[in-house]
Amino acid sequence: MRCFFRLFTHPVPVEEQHSFVVASEAGGLTGRLEHVTIDEHTALGKLRQLIEVQSDRGMLRRTTLYQELLALMQRARNPHHYGSELALTYRLGYFKHDDDSAVPTIIPLEHEQAGRLVLEYLEAQEARIKDGIDLIVVPATQVAPSGLCTPVPEPTAAAAQKQCSSREGVQAAAVGTKAGCSIADTVVV
């Protein structure tokens, strides 16, 4: 059966980054990127190998899918402010229900290392198996320390204003910084 891969990143608030001005990073769930063929005995660890490397004329090479994922992961926001070592790593996830509007459920790393099978996590997609199943690639920067795929809550306007006005010295915050300040919030102390 075919296992399709899709990438999920948290949507970027329009107030923080507008795609017309900055880039086309709207976030959310991509369409199906590419697929690999698996069977009912394919383990999660084996799936990572299928995503990342292929044998080509006696050499191991990165797959086109993995190169595309690396490019997308490198551009993804880092809402949890992890170190740069996590920028090019990913976790696997799935949708518990046949609902692409929700955030994916992350498969625990322990399950991957224990050799659990891919199909254990895809029961909700049984109706679509004839078309192939979807597995979600989630950049590690999008996963909260709790292991859940939850976004960082946006600061309230009052908290953002307090953070802007409490800065020392002369500071000009660019429009759309994580504190939500604008050039008009320049503070001279």
pLDDT digits (tens, 9 = 90+) for 66-108: 998 898 888 888 888 888 888 889 999 988 766 656 788 899 9
What's the pLDDT score for residue 125?
59
Give the pair of three-digit tokens for residue 103: 């955030």
The reported pLDDT for the residue numbered 59 is 92
Helix axes 44-52, 64-75, angle to 10 degrees: 90
Note whether 189 and 170 are within 8 A (CB).
yes
Q: What pLDDT is attached to residue 77?
A: 83
CB atoms within 10 A of CB 90: 24
Which parts of the chain have pLDDT scores under 50? 156-189
pTM tops 0.85, yes or no: no
Residue 2 CB partners (closer than 8 Å, separation 6+): 35, 36, 37, 38, 132, 133
* Contacts of residue 63, Cβ cutoff 8 Å, sequence gap at least 6: 34, 50, 51, 52, 53, 54
Determine the pLDDT at residue 72. Answer: 86
What's the rounded Cα separation, in Å, for the pair 17 and 21?
A: 8
Share in percent of the chain as helix, strand, coil (round to 5): 30, 20, 50
